[in-house]
Structure 1
Amino acid sequence: MAGFETCFTDMPWEVLYTTLTVNSTTLFTLESPSLAQLGLFSLPERISSQMSRINSSSTPMGEIPMEIGSTTVTVMYVKEIVQDDIVTVVTAVDSNMSKVLPITTLQRLLQEWKLFKEDEHNRTIAFKVTFNHVIKHLENEFSRSGLRNTRDELERTRQVMEDNIERVVERNERIGLLVDKTDRLTELSNGFRGSATRVKRAMWWHNLKFWVAIVIVVILLLLICLKVI
């Protein structure tokens, strides 16, 4: 039997089915309107068939996955001996929904039942009002807190997006500066290459003139020497 695990999704805060039994005898049940909408008509019967397994298990709490049509349901339970009776509270939720609500519902109902049984004058049927009230109250409370959490999450997401946009803009500005610097360096490099080419060409002409002058001087010296001879 798997233990409780907590997860968070965007599913509505709603329990599909809840029941309280004493010594395997069902005393109270509450079905959500979504039970019919989802076509989960067999869920109460399926849960009832698991009660002997739940009550005979060695764990005081746990969960059982169920496949009903195309819907996966998680059946969760807690049980405790109260005044020599085995009191079992079971609730079922869509497996994609957060398990925080059903866990809280189970614990609250069990606690309320124990408080209720402390007064021996209380009639069992009177607990029905408390049973229904606890479930609806918790659904409403979790729905409101879930909405606040959703708004907070949207605000955090918006802030993260704005921060990312600012970083992208800053990065693009830095890239723009680097591009400008690169363009200037390219222009300087091209200018340097042009100047180097002109200097190289001027030096080539200078050397050519120098060697031409040397050749002319040598020829003149040879002619002078020939005339002297």
Structure 2
Amino acid sequence: MNSDLQKHIIHCTLTINSTTLYIYESHLISQISELNCSEIISQELGLINSSKTLIGSIPISSSSNIKLSLYFMKKFLVTNDGGRDLITLIVIAQVNVNKTMILNILKNIMDKYIDFKKKHGSEESKKKLIEFKLYMNQIIKFEELNYDSNSHVYNYGSTRDGNGDDESNVGTQINPNQLILANEEVDEVRQLMLDNINKLLSRGDKINLLVDQTDKLNTSSSVFQRKAQQIKRKMWFNKTKWLLSIIGGVLLVLYLFIASQCGFPMFDHCLRN
């Protein structure tokens, strides 16, 4: 049984926003007494989702002599309405199971689900749910069945040499686990960069819009200033014309009055005297 546990995972759960969608359980789970994987996951899921760690493992306490670990992988999926769904994939396995195999299972299921989700959108029919569960089971079984043939790949770059000299080689080689973790981190960084670029582009559009509005405001201000000057000149001209008309009228009345006393048209009577 112990050798089987070292080649197989015991339990796998996929959740989205803390809601369980898919569960896989190996037949080997019946050989471990008092192991309730669903209860363990429900206890740890809140802590896993609230943490900033995207990939990690947690030791599991069990009443049996078999040491188990919980492995998880998280990823955000942008929805059509601009929100983000948190996808969490959890695997429970014996501590001696090759970590690279577990990471391959986590990554392949996560990638497959994201492609499946993008393809089918919000369709959640029973047929679609069963369809992905088959994909999930196939990925797990494929990795487990090919465990022996892929052992050289899993152990490529490993620091173990079987002679207890692990510590002397630490840091001199990169193992597959580090490569997969680095790949996930690069994907997350790339997504963050894309989000930041989109925000900058959106900010740039807003700045361009603000510049356009400022230009329009400046143009409107110039037009208003020209019209104000035209109106001011027109009002000054009308005021001047009105003032000249009054002066002309007063002079005409004054001329008529003096001329009536002194004779028209050149004040002849007054000039002779």
The interval holding the TM-score normalised by the smaller chain is 0.5 to 0.7
- The higher-RCO structure (CA 8 Å, 6+ apart) is 1
Instruction: Give 2:95's aligned residue.
Output: 95
Which range moved further: 95-104 or 12-21? 95-104
Secondary structure, counterpart of 1:89 in structure 2: strand
1:119 matched to 2:116? The reply is: no
Supply the distance in 1 between the matched residues of 2:149 and 2:37 (Cα, whole angstroms).
27
Return the match for 2:77 from 75, 82, 92. Answer: 82
Counterpart residue type for residue 71 of structure 1: I
2:59 and 2:68 in contact (8 A); partners too: yes
Asked if the contact 2:76–2:86 (Cα under 8 Å) also holds between the matched residues in 1, the reply is yes
Q: CA RMSD in A?
A: 2.7
Q: Is the 8 A contact 2:100 2:154 kept in 1?
A: no
Query: How far, CA to CA, are the matches of 1:114 and 1:147 in structure 2?
Result: 29
C-alpha distance in structure 1 between counterparts of 2:86 and 2:153, whole Å: 38
**SS class of match (1:51):** helix
Question: May I ask how many residue pairs the two structures share in their alignment?
Answer: 143
The 3-state SS of whatever aligns with 2:8 is coil
Distance 2:153 2:56 in 1: 29
State whether residues 16 and 31 of structure 1, in contact with CA within 8 Å, keep that contact through their aligned partners in structure 2. Answer: yes
Native 8 Å contact 1:10 1:97 kept in 2: no
Deviations 1:113-163 (A, max 9, x none): 11111213554512111111111111111233349999xxxxxx9xxxxxx
What amino acid is the match of 1:81? F
CA spacing shift, 1:40–1:95, aligned 2, 3 Å: farther
Equivalent residues in 2 for 1:172-191, closer than 5 Å:
none
More displaced, 11-20 or 75-84? 11-20
What is the aligned partner in structure 2 of residue 52 from structure 1?
46
AA aligned to 1:129 is: L
Could you tell me which of 7, 12, 25 is aligned with 1:18?
12
Q: C-alpha separation between the residues in 1 aligned to 2:30 and 2:99?
A: 21
TM-score between the two structures when normalised by the length of structure 1: 0.56
- What is the Cα deviation at residue 55 of structure 1? 0.4
Post-superposition offset of 1:48 = 1.8
Question: TM-score, normalised on structure 2?
Answer: 0.48
Q: In the alignment, does 2:15 pair up with 1:28?
A: no
Provide runs of 4+ in structure 1 moved above 6 Å. 147-150
Letter in structure 1 aligned against 2:69 = T
1:104 aligns with 2:101: no
Sequence identity of aligned pairs in percent?
26
The answer for unaligned runs of 5 or more in structure 2 is: 79-83, 156-161, 163-273
The offset of 1:16, in angstroms, is 0.8
1:155-174 equivalences in 2 (<5 Å):
none
Is the CA contact (8 Å cut-off) linking 1:20 and 1:28 kept in structure 2?
Answer: yes
